[in-house]
Amino acid sequence: MRNDGQWELMKRIVDVKDKDGWLVRSSGGYLDYPKRDESNIALGLCNQLWDSKPHRHLYHEMVLVLRGCCLHEYKGVQVPLIPGDAFLVFPHESHGYHVDSPIELLNIWFYPERLGAGFMEMLGYIRENTRTLSQENADQDRWHIVSDISGSGQVQIHQDRQSYLNQQGIVYLNAKEKNLVEELISQLFNEQEEQKTGYEYMKAACLSMILTLVWRTGEEQGQMNEYVADEKRNMVNQILGYMEKHLEEKLDIEALARKSCWSPSYFRVVFKSVTGLSPLEYLNRLRIIKSMEYLSGSSVSVAEAAERVGILDQAYFSRLFKKIIGYSPRHFKSITDLESSKNN
């Protein structure tokens, strides 16, 4: 398990910004490499309360979302990121973040060409096999996770998340997978700080295992999704649409299974093969992301936001919110209210 004391130390080390708000210096739209030592691998923890304008690097970057939520702009689309999301950004490719609330990102910056042929081979394979779906196939891979309210007050679907996730090469790590990656990250951080004999090789070994675990998870998720027949996928898509339209109601998983004419156990298997989450996990995330919209810079209370997404127990809502986003809904609302007051 990760050491929270180490995480706090990492925050103090990297939380230094230049006059333009970058964590490291930039030149011509390219961020400088945030060198920590001679290993060609640098680890940093970034707490962001501001947008990160589109930028590029000469190096590779791996990102793991630890807490919070934001929109990631990359490869021509915007994807809502949630805790557990991991992805790679390749050299010379532009990306940025649209941040409306505090978000905590774990970044590993590295030069694989300086780490040996094995790293270059691995990164080349990952890049070639990143699953990208065309916009024409978006309806087959809907994973609506956030919504916007239009000027007319109508709910508009904001993203086809699954299609865009594939386009950006984003992998969702469950709690077990995320904990395993965080253990390796803690080891990498220790090597970076202590710099004992051979630390460069230890950092490279940790990075290799992290990349392999994320790559393996993404490959398994992709294979699972491909094995689902179109009619089953379409049925799950209908259920997703029903969830979105009836979010404020008490949604029963067994009732949703009956709508699909499947048994509850089979429904859970097919649902997870399409979305990567169980029906309850998906529904909880959908409710929390939607509640963040209600809480952002408005007069809606925590209790009201919970009720609007179908959760009547405020204590349960607060626990669920913190579990998914990483901090309490009251803390989230206080931050967004403060930012809103500054902008008015």
Give the total residue count for the chain: 344
Q: Which of the four pLDDT bands, split at 50, 70 and 90, describes residue 134?
A: very low
- What's the pLDDT tens digit per position in 274-329? 777 789 988 988 898 889 888 886 788 999 999 999 999 999 999 999 888 888 99
Residue in the structure block whose two tokens are 């995320």: 178
Whether the per-residue pLDDT at 148 is higher than 80: the answer is no
- What's the pLDDT tens digit per position in 60-75? 999 999 888 788 899 8
Whether the per-residue pLDDT at 13 is higher than 70: the answer is no
Dist CA 305 CA 44 (whole Å): 34
Dist CA 35 CA 43 (whole Å): 9
Whether residue 160 sits in one domain with residue 21: yes
Whether the per-residue pLDDT at 245 is higher than 90: the answer is no
Whether residue 124 sits in one domain with residue 23: yes
Q: Burial letters for 38-65: b for 16+ Cβ neighbours within 10 Å, e otherwise?
A: ebbbbbbbbebeeebeebbbebbbbbbb
Whether residue 221 sits in one domain with residue 94: yes
- What's the pLDDT tens digit per position in 195-218? 999 999 999 999 999 999 998 888
Whether residue 44 sits in one domain with residue 161: yes
Contact 259, 242 (CB under 8 A): yes
Residue with the bigger pLDDT between 232 and 120: it is 120
Q: Which of the four pLDDT bands, split at 50, 70 and 90, describes residue 154?
A: very low
Cα dihedral across residues 141, 146, 151, 154: positive or negative: positive
**CA dihedral of residues 9, 114, 218, 83 (deg, nearest 10):** 20
Whether the per-residue pLDDT at 14 is higher than 50: the answer is no
The CA-atom distances, in angstroms, between 333 and each of 50, 155, 256, 336 are 16, 22, 32, 5
Whether residue 47 sits in one domain with residue 172: yes
Whether residue 238 sits in one domain with residue 200: no
Residue with the bigger pLDDT between 102 and 176: it is 176
Whether residue 209 sits in one domain with residue 241: no
* Cross-strand pairs, 172: 85
**CATH at 188:** 2.60.120.280
Domain boundary among 226, 246, 263: 226
Whether residue 221 sits in one domain with residue 116: yes
Identify the pLDDT of residue 196: 96
- Type of residue found at 195: Q
- For 109-122, the DSSP string reads EE-GGGS-HHHHHH
Whether residue 288 sits in one domain with residue 211: no
Identify the pLDDT of residue 120: 87
Identify the pLDDT of residue 61: 95
Whether the per-residue pLDDT at 141 is higher than 60: the answer is no
- What's the pLDDT tens digit per position in 16-62? 344 444 455 666 788 889 889 999 999 988 876 677 888 899 999 99
Whether the per-residue pLDDT at 131 is higher than 60: the answer is no
Whether residue 157 sits in one domain with residue 299: no
Identify the pLDDT of residue 225: 56
- Total structural domains within the chain: 2
Identify the pLDDT of residue 22: 43
Domain boundary among 226, 252, 268: 226
Dist CA 150 CA 295 (whole Å): 17
The highest-confidence range among 64-68, 77-81, 110-114, by mean pLDDT, is 110-114
Domain boundary among 226, 248, 263: 226
Identify the pLDDT of residue 58: 93
Residue with the bigger pLDDT between 230 and 161: it is 230
- For 126-155, the DSSP string reads HHHT-----GGGGGGG-----EEE-TTS-E
Whether residue 221 sits in one domain with residue 82: yes
Whether residue 141 sits in one domain with residue 269: no
Write out the residue range of the structural domain in which residue 338 sits: 230-343
**CATH at 266:** 1.10.10.60
Identify the pLDDT of residue 17: 46
Residue in the structure block whose two tokens are 């230094």: 16
The CA-atom distances, in angstroms, between 256 and each of 94, 118, 265 are 41, 47, 12
- Other CB atoms within 10 A of residue 148 CB: 11
Identify the pLDDT of residue 222: 64
Whether the per-residue pLDDT at 156 is higher than 50: the answer is no
